[in-house]
Amino acid sequence: MEDEKKRIVVVTGGSKGIGRCIELRFARPDTKIIFNHYDPDDEAANETIKLVEKEGGTAVGYKVNVASPSEVSDFFKKIMDEEGRIDVLVNNAGITMDAILVRMTEAAWDRVIDINLKGAFLCTQAAAKVMMKQRSGCIINIASVVGAMGNAGQANYVASKAGLIGLTKTAAKELASRGVRVNAIAPGFIDTEMTAKLSEKVKEAMVAQIPFKKMGQPEDVAGAAAFLASEDASYITGQVIHVNGGMYM
Ligand code: NAP
């Protein structure tokens, strides 16, 4: 199939974890996936491309810091020069830098807000301009359960995810008349590198709060993303889908 006929799916932070899994869920011959990542080591990104190709899809990955306005602008310019359209944007890039409030440094606050929230704003703004002209498109923001319920030790991360939910609802209201839908997914406690770095004690305490008594898998989040990007969700906008095993209701 010719590239120009393909559905263009852009995923930020797509080299591993939930982002990679969403890409694998979208991977099919009529879809081209364009993702970015931050680490200059391309090993995870190259592995992701191979996995997408194994599923019959196409993927390209670029090193882009979503917190950098110039890098984001160049990334979207490249996409438009090469593809001419964007059908789906998944704002997935995110980091944690945990500390209790009284010990949190300004640098840790700024870095998490810059990547998790400003990064999503910059990418949403760039994609929205394209999607408004197309009069179609779907934006999915990967928030977090803690953005709704709060979490001790994560003031910066929780603020970024609560902000992302507010951004989702506002963008949904502004873009609806142009046929663009904007929704969020709020994952609970998902088994990825981000949670692998937590101690066994912390993990056990988290799992104890989950009615299903187990962590979620990236596939659980990818399924919700596939639904939100599908025609089945064509009347859904401005919503937050919680994927958390009942951890927060
Ligand atoms: P992960 O395995 O650590 O993956 C994070 C991804 O974001 C990587 O591809 C990473 O690329 C990329 N990234 C980090 N900083 C970036 C930047 N400045 N610019 C571009 N890309 C950047 O994390 P994950 O668990 O899959 O999390 C994915 C999303 O889900 C995040 O937004 C996270 O907050 C959210 N979430 C996760 C959980 C969970 O339990 N895991 C729960 C709720 C929400 P590099 O490796 O190249 O830096």
- pLDDT tens digits, 171-228: 999 999 999 999 999 999 999 999 999 999 999 999 999 999 999 999 999 999 999 9
Within the chain, residue ranges assigned H as helices are 17-26, 43-54, 69-83, 106-112, 119-134, 146-149, 155-175, 193-196, 200-208, 218-228
Answer whether 181's CB lies under 8 Å from 237's CB: yes
pTM over 0.85: yes
Q: Which residue numbers are catalytic?
A: 157
Supply the pLDDT for residue 4.
Answer: 58
Which segments in the chain show pLDDT lower than 70?
1-4
Site residues for ligand 1, CB cut-off 6 Å: 12-19, 36-39, 64-67, 92-95, 115, 142, 144, 187, 189-190, 192-195
Answer whether 190's CB lies under 8 Å from 216's CB: yes
Supply the pLDDT for residue 5.
Answer: 78
Taking the CB of residue 198, how many other CB atoms lie within 10 A of it?
Answer: 15
- Strand 88-91 relative to strand 31-37, pairing: unpaired
Taking the CB of residue 49, how many other CB atoms lie within 10 A of it?
Answer: 20
The CA 158 to ligand 1 mean position distance, Å, reads 14
